[in-house]
Amino acid sequence: MTVRQAHQERVRTGDHFINGDVACAEGALAAGCGLFAGYPITPSTEIAEHLARRLPEVGGTFVQMEDELGSMAAVLGASWAGARAMTATSGPGFSLMQENIGWGVLTETPCVVVDVQRPGPSTGLPTQTSQSDVMQAKWGSHGDYEPVAYAPASPQEMFDLTVLAFNTADRLRIPVFIMADEAVGHITERVRIPAAEALPSSSRPRPTDAPGNGFLPFKAGPGLVPPMAHAGEGYHIHITGLTHTERGYPTNSAEVHDRLVRRLSDKVLRRADELTLVERVWLDDAQVAVVAYGGTARSARQAVRIARERGVRAGLLRLITLWPFPGAAIAQLGLQTRLVVAESNLGQVAREAERYTAGQVYRVTHAGGHLLPPEPILEAILERA
């Protein structure tokens, strides 16, 4: 094998002044991403551009495909050849990727998909910010499935959550989404990259028995995540998007289908507590709590700070994980405070939050195009206090 020599280090330990897209790309490199397949689309192109330069330096492969369909398919193929693989896009591309994302769900293919969101529907405002793909991350492909999606609120989190996404993807053998908003992708801030050994890392469950002993590619133990053999290892695996038995062969059995789809959902839902990350700011004594995520959470933090200065006991629950939805945290918060949900869409998290609260939540929404400023959030807090 022509081992492509790495002549640059993957983990650029130290402080950097970079934007969110570049930080995401560095996160992928630090996480050991071996292949990036993508297609240019504002506002995520910088991720592809940065990896086009950096991946070959670290012995990885960059390929610009002919469209987002090909990009997602290539990522799936690379994962089955043993690589950590990623693509990055925005709303329109994310829409084109959904069918192949579904293939990745059903075949349990670890990979990372970054969606740097811009206002939609359709072409919308390509260079501006939004958070309007939240539900697409959950319901974009057809069929029942439970994705894992993180919402970075800063270039630092673009780095950290991309590393986390690769670990979660490998640990659970699923596609994992980074749902960034354009604002976070394009602002430039300090990003601290830790030493390589300090980076958390987990790997895919792998077969323990050698090939030829009746290895079942889809037989899962109590953790519900089957060991993953790669192409070229002699297991002669058959991987199909058709509903399949533990042997990996197609089946028409409705029972097998029900069991498979439930397992694929349960392997995520059973780990909801560990997967759902939130940041709690001044919530202990709060009478009004703002629920926000991504770029909007920065404005919410400011609004809460101003409210506190004016003597109003406000707090912030920042969702870092969007899916599985942090319903428990919201339900508990809803018992003790009045909730305000602030987001750059017309209430996609608000409506989900209401599944966990007694009544309606107060919404501060905007369809996107500019970063939701603190003022309307502050007004909502003062009104609800």
CB 379 within 8 A of CB 335: no
Q: Is 99 in the site for another protein (CB under 8 A)?
A: yes
Report how many residues bind another protein under the rule CB under 8 A. 44
Q: Compute the least distance from the CB of residue 58 to another protein, in Å.
A: 14
C-alpha neighbours within 13 Å on the C-beta side of residue 297: 24
**Which of 67, 144, 266, 379: binder of another protein (CB under 8 A)?**
67
**Which of 166, 235, 293, 325: binder of another protein (CB under 8 A)?**
235
- Residue 99 or residue 189: which is nearer to another protein going by CB? 99
Site string for another protein, 179-218 (x = CB under 8 A): --------------------------------x-------
Q: Compute the least distance from the CB of residue 140 to another protein, in Å.
A: 14
- Residue 213 or residue 309: which is nearer to another protein going by CB? 213
CB 334 within 8 A of CB 313: no
Q: DSSP per residue over 136-150, as a string?
A: HHHHSSSS----EEE
The 3-state DSSP class for residue 365 equals: strand
Q: Compute the least distance from the CB of residue 52 to another protein, in Å.
A: 14
Backbone angles phi, psi at 370, to 5 degrees: -145, 160
Residue numbers 269-288 binding another protein by CB under 8 A = none
The H or E element containing residue 181 is strand 175-181
Residue 251, Ramachandran bin (φ over 0: left; ψ between -120 and 50: alpha; else beta): beta
- Residue 37 or residue 191: which is nearer to another protein going by CB? 37
What would the 3-class secondary structure string for 69-105 be?
A: HHHHHHHHHHHHCCCEEEEEECHHHHHHHHHHHHHHH
**Which of 30, 31, 58, 78: binder of another protein (CB under 8 A)?**
78
**Which of 238, 310, 355, 370: binder of another protein (CB under 8 A)?**
238
Backbone angles phi, psi at 110, to 5 degrees: -65, 130
Residue numbers 318-337 binding another protein by CB under 8 A = none
Round to whole Å and give the CA distance between 310 and 307: 5
What residue ranges bind another protein (CB under 8 A)? 1-2, 34-35, 37, 61, 63, 65-67, 69-71, 73-83, 85, 99-100, 103, 211, 230-242, 249-250
